[in-house]
A and B are shown apart, each in its own frame.
Chain A
Amino acid sequence: MTPSVPYPPDTAVRAEPGSFRDPANRVFQAGDDILRGLREQAAQDWRALAATDFFPPLIAAGKICGTEQVASDRVPADDGGPWAAVLRHERIPFLSHPAEWSFAMLRDAALLHLEILAEAVPAGFTTKDGSAWNLQFRGAEPVFIDVGSFEPAREGEPWAGYRQFCQTMLYPLLLQAHLGVDFQPWLRSRVDGIEPHQMRRLFRGVRRWRPGVPTHVHLHDSLTNRHAATTGREVRGQLRHAGFSREVVAATIRSLTRLVRRLDWEPPATGWSDYQSTCGYSAADRSAKQQFVDAATADAGRSALVLDLGANDGTYSRIAARHTGYVVAVEHDAAVVDRLYRQLRAEGERRILPLVVDLADPTPGAGWRSTERAGFVTRARADVVLALALVHHLAVARNVPLALVVDFLVGQLAGAGGRLVVEFVHPEDPMAQRLIANKPAGLHADYRRDTFERLLARRCVIQQRQELPGGTRTLYLGTVRD
């Protein structure tokens, strides 16, 4: 499900930039294979994990990504010597950042992490960490991907991942559920999430009594400050001595699960949530556009990856998904994405992934050297790009020159041989007029259909052109030139 046309087959083994933090294991890409090299202790832990009763059913249910052991020489030795064992993981079609998830996506991911931990603890296992980065989405279904995180639990020790869980999952959920504040910008700005002291300042006065806040925020921050100079080794010793047990860990997980289940957020009505009925299309326009997209994607192939940019309610993502392998439905309005996710999740859809991304300001690279987690543009290479009712928003509302918009859609997102389905809203269209009217006269003089067509023809072979019945919008199907 990777772009099949633009890139030559590449079987070189490359370390994933985001997998260096735990030296016990490292993830690699070798062509389409996702491999994980394990050091000796991690290999022992893996063998013990594979022999448990809880792990195989979670893989079979799709809750943990498919994993099998392969020959250890699939990953070459490095400075740490040869790998004691190598695993091959199921490939997730499109990797996303937690900052690109909607509220319900993050909540489902958090609940899955807790569910897996709740299964692991009675079996004598735990996870070394508790980050939202341990999870990804297979369409509208969360999946736990960090198999290297499992290790045998040490009796008498709390969950080492609790702080990460709070910072990257619980706190963002509290922020949205209790304050109605979008969490995405917070997660986007810090790969390790929101600190307890930052949360504490946001939850003063009566807000401090909202569910989960007194303990997981205020008490957590107080204890963090009070014990800042105490080592984890000392605290673990004291807790063990005081009788901390596996039952306390299990009770903590149950308590967190109850809390996360209670948290909810009703996506508010926004200008985009009713877009399909306010965007000015007649029934004939809508029908013609749907037929055009259906025909344009019909022979793209079952392995094709589609990017639907400005997906809104997912109408065209669903059409593309009929013919292709996987659709990433990109939309900048978090409320709209949340609604779409909840629908897709209820339908059990595993081939459409909705994401919150502003295309004029896409998710940047994050973490170490800004490459630990690749930015959206680096990840977003597709066989088919749908850009429907999008160009005028970028070119007029966001002032991106038309030539740069075309370069972005063609050179960046759809590579050579890929196809672009793009809609140009004429400057006379009421929606375009509304945007242009907010700008000084003449600022968007180059926003013209002939200019757009000339720019498009420079980068694409235009296979098909169709004006919608309303007469103010034109659809193009282009194949990207080599």
Chain B
Amino acid sequence: MSNTAHADAHGGHGTHGLAHVASVPSLLGTFGLLVLLTFVTVWVAKHPLGAIDIWVAMGIATVKATAVGLYFMHLRHDSGFNRLVFLGSFLFVFIFIGFAMMDRGQYDPTIQWQEALPKFQPAK
């Protein structure tokens, strides 16, 4: 299934031929990047950017997630099929949340109307 990709990654010095072996610099580099971006995300949160705030925070998180996926999870050297399977799940998450938000948008007038009514007090 994925022999060729593995073998290529090693250039034939394979006492460890089953899969790609992550190099120490790639492991430490990924770790360093993740720590750095964690500091960045906290720093950004202390400096409000208004409406794009959430998108900046999610952007940084996505860069971190990509680094974890590519290097810690070896996706960079994994077979194309495994990559497709895993990344495909995010397509379905996007459809799921996207459609739910579209539905929420459709109900917006009803909700606005309901919230204008006197507040419901739950029994204590």
Do A and B belong to a common assembly? no
Residues of B whose CB lies within 8 Å of any CB of A are: none
Instruction: List residues of A whose CB falls within 8 A of some B CB.
Output: none
